[in-house]
Structure 1
């Protein structure tokens, strides 16, 4: 790798000074602090004892010309070490931090100058430390500029008779020495690409964690004062939090009047009454959808470069590119926020049978589908009445094929570029014909159903298809699959596992095949017990023919046959026993695949 970074040591006091002066941009100060109080205590203890606490990694934003002349001096963005620096600001500087509920809290660390050498002098304050005068309840008081060590030690000794003033003074001096401790700062050049920055991060970070491209983007947004980045950053955070916890709105409206005065407050207020959990995007999702929609690209690394004013052709930074990019991103984010857009998109998912978060397995597929919905709403070649249908079919295709699973950025980027260059209708036709060929429906899809995972896309789409078709649960005319899915009901083994274990010595991998699952009412499941399917299906058939009572509530043979067909069970199930189990799995997978195919064509 080319030489694109430098390594320097800075005293902690200097780092905290950079933060207070705004030289270092730490957007995580405005996001939930995820460290526990114990972790903060351990960090202070390590610094006190002179142990290293890792490197901070910073990235200098490019300097670009601003309107009216002159230069906008790029801030230094802290891309790794936010939690450590935030912990220091909380414990030493006494600043409040946001917890997971977006409440401002103080994190206090207590200090005991009289502690033995074999025990830590630091603690998270509790009832025992509060009652014990040997404990200083909040070390931040000692780091204040007007702290008088001489008078403090005198008062401490008076409250703790027998304490050695010299020893206490030395311990206080050692504590204050934390601010002089050196911490390594890796300064990455603005000329480095996102890939180079990520590589540096991975090689230096001891855990080898992958640095999120969305984290880069959010850091860049928050540090841009010229374009109001901090406000946009906060709006994205609040939107994502409200999507999960609508009741959080009361905290925003009561405690963040600055935000309430922005346009974003009115744009996300509707979430206070939204309790749907089918699609709860995080900030990574919001950025991806907005970026794909407005820029026609799928790689978030490009977003950071564009927000910095990167001219990809000339390899320079230009203010007009940064201006245009921020404006486009803001517009895209606001379209993501829009109530009509968001709720109409979720309605498209619901009407396709995806009625709960339990039926959603791929955030990538959801993100691309929402981006597609926003894009088609603006496409003059697509009738408004057709938008949902295209979105549904694309979403189902991508889930069935795993198109956006795993590392999907390159696929998203390629799809967006193809749509931009050739138009959606042509790309849609090419991809649907290419991905969902006869071979897929007849061979590949049955193979995908050969699994024990209830999170596989094919199984989830099968359930969505049953929901859309208002299919009744097995042996029932009154309880639908959708009713059981909302509570996740009882998943019945058509060939009961106790039966298969007894007859075939079957393992979990054999009896827990999804092709052996059907949703039934709990009382029916209990009544069936470990019976052979040929026996209990025959009991149901005989009861329908002679009008007698049994475990189900279907009482005529045609309705029973329709129910069996709707649950994709082979029609010769009445004659099956353990010897037929593997054939049953093969046949049912084929029936399920055909059922999904018909469902797809109906969208």
Structure 2
């Protein structure tokens, strides 16, 4: 029979990436034992509770569905060996993509193998079964003594089924004074037999073939995973290490285990700042080996794939793993690790209490390693430049938004330097530090960022770090702040952060609300006996009383450290907060200045040439024009909107600089194209007036206090520098079409400006402004 072409012909079907199959539990356990299926979770912290394992066995027993398993073929040839050897030198044929926790639970119970807790302690998962009511429980001391239970069902498979059943029935008969009939025994044994037969439970398995890439596997995983868990690139790379370089993965995990294991004696990764995870250390190794912050292509690089041709080569894979192996040796070297952590201490940070961004720690470690290995810097000089970098990156939140993009850009700048040129390395990092810590940052952005009550604010910890660097004392005390913050020192219980304007006093004055009462600018370190004395007193009352016996010079020093305005006790509360925020920012600046090697109080200034060299970043943007559309050859309101949204993004983030008259690649074209649209006002003053009018007409706040506009010359052409300070409250922009009130909320993330909506906007505002 002839069918019309529309029926007999059609597009070819998309090749199927998987096949459905089934495995018995016994088959799965044996394949895991023999290394045919990779189950690396046995050697990593087990995240399921014992109760979840109990529930899993209960579901199996009752015949309930327990989910599909998903495996992924490795594509390894028979006999393929791991890179560098390992505990099991053969490469596994299958990786477990979905179902690792279930299989870890089942494998551990059926074999009796211990798993690791989150604190890296080994423990057995012990599940008990009570045949009388067919219930499963997590074994405890009471169940151990209860003859109604088989206290550990592992015995059914490990100690022998018959001996285990006979022992249970004998104990039960004794406990019931022999009142156990043959019919009772048969019924109980039948139920125990059902538990024993769980080893034959058949799981539905989806096997993805080797042709599926990691992007497709991640998408399939997300679509079928009921818990909404997402796989990230680090998951894939760590899994790939389990297949091809198990020893390397175990080294990462052992380092992390030793960092938190209280039983480790002697040299260890323990430190006061961070409990490293394997994926964090993996990122450090990849950054050092391949100069990459984004992990998007690293998986394929380690597979030995040529990113241009798509060809996969075993030789290339071995070469890439060799690069990673050398880098990981540097990352896990305890001398390197602890020398780097000294940089954080050198920057005034004392403990994890002061760390809000572990990314800042890990990514700064990459730069430290590059400085040591590739630029030959000694520990002393490296300590100075890395301390400055960490202080800047942590305080400004450099690695908070789009962290992978930001570290990749930073690594790219370092990679462009001549290898071994230590001066160039230090100069580049310091140039970026200066570009972020501008005069506007110290005088406007930082005081605005201090307008919060958040107890986990990076700018608060920058203040604490500066107090450490300035060797400051607690208010009214001779105890140093650094002693209060040192995790190795037990500070007196009497020390705490105190409200300078006491809560009770503010309540009587009608000031309420946690954000205002607990504002950073209302808190200072104070010794408890003095705090008790102050109670709810008006500062006008307690300040003279507390300082009466103190030497005037000491009062002056403490007023400086604690950023107390002259006559602060007589100020109204809101004026006090505003003035103290500015003074705190000055103390932070003074503390940071101590980190420059020459110990001067005037760090080198940033030039326009420096800014152009640094390029676009979280805090810097280039725009060719602000009014003239180069492609259309005419003035265009769209160009003005681009300027408005960029400034809005800086205001809502950490501030930054917008350079107008500079193309994306750093080529300076000047302002002539824009100037020709201004007629008789085609000069610097007219251009500044034009920009100010555009911003004030399209933003929800006036910009006089937060935006500074000035001009500099580069290559004989004018460049307009719009210096934007962080805003103390959310700022909105009008849409491109204009009209109505400002409704768009823009934020600077990485080197892009992104609009946030709905819950994302609300969450950002809550986290950013407290």
- Please report the TM-score for the alignment, with normalisation by the length of structure 1: 0.84
Report the alpha carbon displacement of residue 317 of structure 1 after superposing the two structures with TM: 1.7
Report the alpha carbon displacement of residue 343 of structure 1 after superposing the two structures with TM: 1.6
Moved over 6 A (4+): 64-68
Corresponding residue of 2:586: 594
Query: Aligned match of 1:48 in 53, 61, 64?
Result: 61
Report the alpha carbon displacement of residue 434 of structure 1 after superposing the two structures with TM: 3.8
Corresponding residue of 2:259: 243
Confirm or deny that 1:558 pairs with 2:553. Answer: yes
Report the alpha carbon displacement of residue 201 of structure 1 after superposing the two structures with TM: 2.5
Report the alpha carbon displacement of residue 74 of structure 1 after superposing the two structures with TM: 5.5
Q: Distance in 1 between matches of 2:24 and 2:581?
A: 65
Confirm or deny that 1:233 pairs with 2:252. Answer: no
Structure 1 residues 179 and 339: CA distance shift in structure 2, 3 A: closer
Q: Distance in 2 between matches of 1:492 and 1:203?
A: 51
Structure 1 residues 525 and 214: CA distance shift in structure 2, 3 A: same
The answer as to whether partners of 1:79 and 1:216 remain within 8 angstroms in 2 is: no
Structure 1 residues 122 and 597: CA distance shift in structure 2, 3 A: same
Report the alpha carbon displacement of residue 474 of structure 1 after superposing the two structures with TM: 1.2
> How many pairs were matched up?
556
Q: What per-residue deviation string (whole Å, max 9, x for no partner) do you get for residues 178-226 of structure 1? A: 23333233333444443433333233222212334333322221222xx
Corresponding residue of 1:203: 223
Tell me whether 455-464 or 240-249 shows the greater mean CA deviation. Answer: 240-249
Q: Distance in 2 between matches of 1:239 and 1:325?
A: 22
Q: Distance in 2 between matches of 1:44 and 1:67?
A: 36
The DSSP-based 3-state class of the residue aligned with 2:279 is: helix
Q: Distance in 1 between matches of 2:26 and 2:154?
A: 13
Q: What per-residue deviation string (whole Å, max 9, x for no partner) do you get for residues 343-392 of structure 1? A: 21111111221122211111000011111111111343857643222211
Query: Aligned match of 2:181 in 162, 169, 186?
Result: 162
Q: Distance in 1 between matches of 2:514 and 2:222?
A: 39
Q: Distance in 1 between matches of 2:496 and 2:68?
A: 51
Q: Distance in 1 between matches of 2:349 and 2:591?
A: 13
Report the alpha carbon displacement of residue 277 of structure 1 after superposing the two structures with TM: 1.5
Identify unmatched segments of 5+ residues in structure 1. 250-268, 544-548, 550-554
Report the alpha carbon displacement of residue 316 of structure 1 after superposing the two structures with TM: 2.4
Tell me whether 164-173 or 384-393 shows the greater mean CA deviation. Answer: 164-173
Confirm or deny that 1:493 pairs with 2:499. Answer: yes
Corresponding residue of 2:128: 110
Confirm or deny that 1:57 pairs with 2:73. Answer: no
Structure 1 residues 197 and 19: CA distance shift in structure 2, 3 A: same
The answer as to whether partners of 1:64 and 1:319 remain within 8 angstroms in 2 is: no
Corresponding residue of 2:460: 459
The answer as to whether partners of 2:256 and 2:277 remain within 8 angstroms in 1 is: yes
Structure 1 residues 418 and 114: CA distance shift in structure 2, 3 A: same
**Aligned pairs (5 A) from 1:119-198:** 120-143=134-157, 147=161, 156=169, 160=173, 161-164=180-183, 166-198=186-218
Corresponding residue of 2:235: 215
Structure number with bigger Rg: 2
Q: What per-residue deviation string (whole Å, max 9, x for no partner) do you get for residues 567-592 of structure 1? A: 1111121422xxx1111111111111
Q: Distance in 2 between matches of 1:74 and 1:306?
A: 20
Structure 1 residues 193 and 428: CA distance shift in structure 2, 3 A: farther
The DSSP-based 3-state class of the residue aligned with 1:311 is: coil
Structure 1 residues 130 and 490: CA distance shift in structure 2, 3 A: closer
The DSSP-based 3-state class of the residue aligned with 1:386 is: helix
The DSSP-based 3-state class of the residue aligned with 2:399 is: coil
The answer as to whether partners of 2:463 and 2:588 remain within 8 angstroms in 1 is: yes
Structure 1 residues 355 and 190: CA distance shift in structure 2, 3 A: same
Structure 1 residues 439 and 50: CA distance shift in structure 2, 3 A: same
The answer as to whether partners of 1:157 and 1:163 remain within 8 angstroms in 2 is: no
Q: Distance in 1 between matches of 2:250 and 2:107?
A: 20
Q: What per-residue deviation string (whole Å, max 9, x for no partner) do you get for residues 204-263 of structure 1? A: 222212334333322221222xxxx232222222211212235235xxxxxxxxxxxxxx
Q: Distance in 2 between matches of 1:87 and 1:300?
A: 30
Q: Distance in 2 between matches of 1:407 and 1:58?
A: 31
Corresponding residue of 1:409: 404
Q: What per-residue deviation string (whole Å, max 9, x for no partner) do you get for residues 104-129 of structure 1? A: 443332333332xxxx4323334554
The answer as to whether partners of 1:90 and 1:108 remain within 8 angstroms in 2 is: no
Confirm or deny that 1:479 pairs with 2:479. Answer: yes
Structure 1 residues 315 and 11: CA distance shift in structure 2, 3 A: same
Q: Distance in 1 between matches of 2:168 and 2:363?
A: 64
**Aligned pairs (5 A) from 1:68-467:** 75-100=93-118, 102-115=120-133, 120-143=134-157, 147=161, 156=169, 160=173, 161-164=180-183, 166-224=186-244, 229-249=245-265, 270-271=267-268, 276-380=271-375, 385-422=380-417, 424=425, 427-428=428-429, 431-467=432-468
Report the alpha carbon displacement of residue 152 of structure 1 after superposing the two structures with TM: 5.2
Corresponding residue of 1:258: none
Q: Distance in 2 between matches of 1:204 and 1:407?
A: 28
Report the alpha carbon displacement of residue 436 of structure 1 after superposing the two structures with TM: 2.7
Tell me whether 458-467 or 436-445 shows the greater mean CA deviation. Answer: 436-445
Q: What per-residue deviation string (whole Å, max 9, x for no partner) do you get for residues 503-558 of structure 1? A: 124111111011111111111111112122233223345x2xxxxx4xxxxx2223
The answer as to whether partners of 1:484 and 1:519 remain within 8 angstroms in 2 is: no
The DSSP-based 3-state class of the residue aligned with 2:230 is: coil
Q: CA-atom RMSD, angstroms?
A: 3.1
Structure 1 residues 138 and 539: CA distance shift in structure 2, 3 A: closer
Q: What per-residue deviation string (whole Å, max 9, x for no partner) do you get for residues 477-510 of structure 1? A: x211112223493101111111111112411111
The answer as to whether partners of 1:364 and 1:405 remain within 8 angstroms in 2 is: yes
Confirm or deny that 1:509 pairs with 2:515. Answer: yes
